[in-house]
Chain A
């Protein structure tokens, strides 16, 4: 390659499109569709058939169009079909259920995402103690947000695929990335981290995480940083972590292999709540957007089990999601208390369906880095193998929601359940003979697990999924249901749909604990649970 070619390759790229380019383009495409439809209708009404359609009257066309439109809207509300993303780009009357349905559809349609994540947070304070007769609501009514939300760290860069691969390049404390308008007017992160780790000694101090659900390999490395075990800070020995056999999904994997949305606070369970919310128009990064918001119950706030003071969780009374109108992709998630922002996580510099290579998600450590390897014990197997690994037959759904397909199966003789005790300290409980089956629809996922019930009836497992305080379901978000069909017919199951945690259901049956959890609505959870049959 000559110097000219090298320069063209390295520096010949053009700037990104101006904000709003794609939105404008899809509006132009919509206009083109409308023009073609009008042209066709004109030909038909004027008695000039185009050779492929027969003549119809305007009245019949209008009636047919109205019926089709009504069915399309109903179909999106009741059961989001895969054609919904583009067809309903500009609903005449913005309806939260329609927007949420389109968001779900968008999340099943795209195959990759590349984006910069910017998070900010504000502190919440309230009375030091409960007065007699107070409830959590009373405490939160007196709580207040301390000042505006401030950035939490610097922007992080994520890449994710619908196949369960995730790469997260995030600044380590003290890193100096800057984010803002670039010299050509685009908004950009000015210090990009090269994909190659060959330059590890020179790259900015960031951490690089990779995860792959299909292989169970997770890695973490902070190039250029050195970790001191003596001081507990980055100082001396360079360190990297490589985890194999990572769990597939919740309840085993919380905090391990998380989806990018979970990692960055984009909780899909919030969508169910938001479907009952309100919609307003907005502009985001210069593009038309919609904001869907809904009021929620904050809390709980409880006296600390040890010492004095109050512990409070779910410190918000409203959640909002901002949706890019052209793609229906969720780009911002915000929680608020008394109208003030508490947590804010937003995506920018987004590329959807941009090509990615497997190398991006392959752990790579420089020579000389001390890699600490561990195996969490979940071995990827075929679904056939999963059916016969242990002395029980795991359960699998016989009905899948639209667009979902099998992604991976994993088995583990042992795992650890992380639980929180009384909304306080975390504890780990051993779990045995686990079979996990993972299903995907684009960026949406759910996991079905079957395991021995041994040790799982511990009272600390009142909710086996409540591993983080903010993920705890409030009493009105929990219910007991009796399953009506399938292998668990007649079994009482517990169902929880916490505002930010993963929607989930669990039941004990025949010496086993069965769980279903993921990006599902309450009805979908029940449908799957009612369809569980022995895996063949």
Chain B
């Protein structure tokens, strides 16, 4: 609360955000803020790993409730986004193990579904094709590609999320990039 020049009791929004609300409200607010900031990326990870919106929603329900349940245990050693990413990744992997994920597409199937990128001007067609190509990667490789190439994580942070050494991440990204490029008929130029 800030006394204003005209004597009014003015609540500054910044102060309001810094206030210590009830624990429950605080947890709700923290979760809502984390969701707002990360949901797009978490959805992308879950969707491409699991292959359907229904599975994506199921897993993210589980992820957010898990995060809410363990919010008190979040130590701030990583960002909350990284922490959520890690929960999402491990929950997806668990889900795939439970569901015995359908076999990835064969290279022949990918070949059949590979029109030249230049000839496709329809966003939806490209999106579907990309989704299929990502689904053809192993979940570990797919996650590494999304983390590094799409969401801009460096190898060290991605390694923390995926629970593997940075070198493994680099290897997965390199192989994943080549596999995607082949599936999408595009080049692999560009450094890492």
- A residues near B (Cβ < 8 Å) are 1-5, 7-18, 21, 24-25, 28-29, 32-33, 36, 82-83, 86-87, 162, 183-185, 352-355, 383-384, 387, 396-400, 402-406, 531, 533-536
A12 pairs with B36, CB closer than 8 A:
no
Any chain A CB within 8 A of the CB of B100?
Answer: no
If A12-B150, A13-B40, A86-B28 touch, does A536 touch B5 (CB 8 Å cutoff)?
Answer: yes
B126 within 8 A of A: yes
Chain A, Cβ-Cβ closest to B36: A353
Interface residues of B (CB under 8 A from A): 4-13, 16, 21-22, 24-25, 28, 31-33, 36-37, 39-40, 43-44, 46-48, 53-54, 56-57, 60-61, 64-65, 68-69, 117, 123-124, 126-127, 130, 134, 145-146, 149-150, 177, 180-181, 184, 186-190
Residue in B11, B40, B69 whose CB lies within 8 Å of A405: B11
Residues of A within 8 A of B53 (CB): 14-15, 17-18, 184-185
Q: Report the minimum CB–CB distance from B133 to chain A (whole Å).
A: 9
A383-B6, A403-B11 as given contacts; A2 in contact with B188, CB under 8 Å: yes
Would B8 and A400 count as touching, CB distance under 8 A? Answer: yes
A-B residue pairs in contact (CB < 8 Å), sample of 21: A4-B181, A4-B184, A5-B150, A8-B145, A13-B127, A15-B43, A18-B57, A29-B65, A32-B68, A82-B16, A162-B13, A185-B53, A355-B36, A383-B6, A398-B8, A399-B9, A400-B8, A403-B11, A404-B10, A405-B12, A534-B6
Q: Which residues of B contact A185 (CB under 8 A)?
A: 53
B30 to chain A, nearest CB (A): 12
Report the Cα distance A406→B46, complex, angstroms.
42
Q: Roughly how many angstroms separate A534 CA and B7 CA in the complex, as a whole number?
A: 10
Measured between C-beta atoms, what is the minimum distance from B105 to chain A in Å? 17
User: Would you call B12 and A17 a contact (CB within 8 A)?
Assistant: no
Closest to A394 in B: B6
Is there contact, CB below 8 Å, between A14 and B7?
no
Task: Tell me the bound Cα distance from A8 to B56 in angstroms.
Answer: 18
- CA A531 to CA B53, docked complex, whole Å: 54
In the complex, how many angstroms separate the beta carbon of A72 from the nearest chain B beta carbon?
Answer: 11
- Is A33 in contact with B44, judged by CB distance below 8 angstroms? no
Which of B10, B69, B181 contacts A32, CB < 8 Å? B69
- Complex Cα distance A171/B14, Å? 37
Complex interface: chain B residues within 8 A of A32 (CB):
65, 68-69
On chain A, the residues within 8 Å of B184 by CB distance are 3-4, 7
Closest to A6 in B: B186
Contacting pair B37 A355 (CB below 8 A): yes
Contact flag A384-B5 (CB < 8 Å), given A11-B127, A12-B48, A32-B68: yes
Report if A400-B46 is in contact (Cβ < 8 Å); known contacts: A3-B117, A24-B61, A185-B53: no
